[in-house]
Amino acid sequence: MTDPTAAPTMPAPGTTDGADEQAKSERVASLWSDARRDLVRNPIFLISAVIILGLIVLSVAPQLFTERSPYEKGFCQLSNSMEPPKSGHPFGYDVQGCDVYTRTIYGARNSVIVGILTSAMTSMVGGVLGLIAGLRGGWVDTVLSRITEIFFAIPLMLGGLLFLSMFDTGNVYTVALILMVLGWPSVFRIMRGAVLSNKHNDYVIAARALGAGTWRIATRHVLPNAIAPVIVLSTINLGIYISAEAALSYLGIGVQSPNISWGLMIADAQSRFLNHPHMLLYPSLFLSVTVLAFIMLGDAVRDALDPKLR
């Protein structure tokens, strides 16, 4: 029998009993590494990422998918007006005798450019202003918040119609700029809230007590912990801005000819849908899949970066 009064035996030095579990408990996984691991296991993220990657390749190098260019001379032939799909022309022809497939391929570039540019600019402007407002507080926060509320009162589509009617250029960069002017307040509000919830944490107070300056605190301590919701919002907004560009072009106030846009193609085909559905079907399908892919990507990124959903 074992003597109950005997001292408990201690593990000999160098033994590895329980060392693995102790090492695991001491390792602290960062938010980004956890998010990356979750994303590569998420089928929704993988599907949407493949679709978006294909759209980017389509936008950068459309010549890989079609031999002709819609901007070359003689591309449109009235003799082919509204012809149905056939061999070599799987999407048929539009009312001007232009190949719908080639125009749909080249129309992806303008839509993706507007979405990426607008989302990037809104993230930069709204993120920087939200970071400043949250850190500085006081009258700076008050002034920026009141300006943001003014822009929030302007609906995106109505404001786009109003401002774009003042310009005659009708190119993708003008559309992206106008959408950025109207879209940055949402990013500002998200960033400001994230900064306010992080700037009073212990690590920020400790950094300030050790003499860290405002710039170092903002870039090394607050921003890395506040940027996640901005990334999620910007990813979801990509699809929203692409659909906004298509809607503005459909209304005749966004991208203008001779530029190509899915919205313009839909506007040209709407009155002929019953007799020639191919003119409307394919640009609408590409637009829907693009918007859905970006929204799915944003949802997957949100689920991965939100620790409350783990």
What pairs with residue 290 in β-bridges? none
What phi and psi, each to the nearest 5 degrees, are found at residue 89? -140, 75
- Answer whether residue 2 is part of any domain: no
Q: Which two tokens stand for residue 289?
A: 């899949």
Where in the sequence is the domain holding 146, given as residue range(s)? Answer: 32-309
Element (H, E) at 268: helix 262-269
Please tell me the distance from the alpha carbon of residue 244 to that of residue 143, in angstroms, as a whole number: 29
Q: Give percent of the chain with pLDDT exceeding 70.
A: 86
Residues 96-121: pLDDT tens digits? 888 888 899 998 888 888 889 999 99
Of residues 11 and 91, the one with the higher pLDDT is: 91
Residues 61-102: pLDDT tens digits? 888 888 888 888 778 888 887 788 888 788 888 888 888 888
Q: Give percent of the chain with pLDDT exceeding 90.
A: 14
Of residues 28 and 241, the one with the higher pLDDT is: 241
Q: What angle do CA 147, 149, 150 make, to 5 degrees?
A: 65
pTM confidence score: 0.79
- Answer whether residue 20 is part of any domain: no
CATH of the domain at 124: 1.10.3720.10
In sequence order, what are the residues at sequence separation of 6 or more whose Cβ sits closer than 8 angstroms to the Cβ of residue 150?
none
Please tell me the distance from the alpha carbon of residue 98 to that of residue 251, in angstroms, as a whole number: 21
- Answer whether residue 5 is part of any domain: no
Of 44-48, 154-158, 297-301, the range with the highest mean pLDDT is 44-48
- Answer whether residue 6 is part of any domain: no
Work out the pLDDT band at 268, boundaries 50, 70, 90: confident
- Answer whether residue 298 is part of any domain: yes
Q: Number of structural domains, the chain?
A: 1
- Answer whether residue 247 is part of any domain: yes
- Answer whether residue 65 is part of any domain: yes
What's the pLDDT score for residue 8? 47
Q: 59: closest CA among 262, 266, 296?
A: 262
- Answer whether residue 23 is part of any domain: no
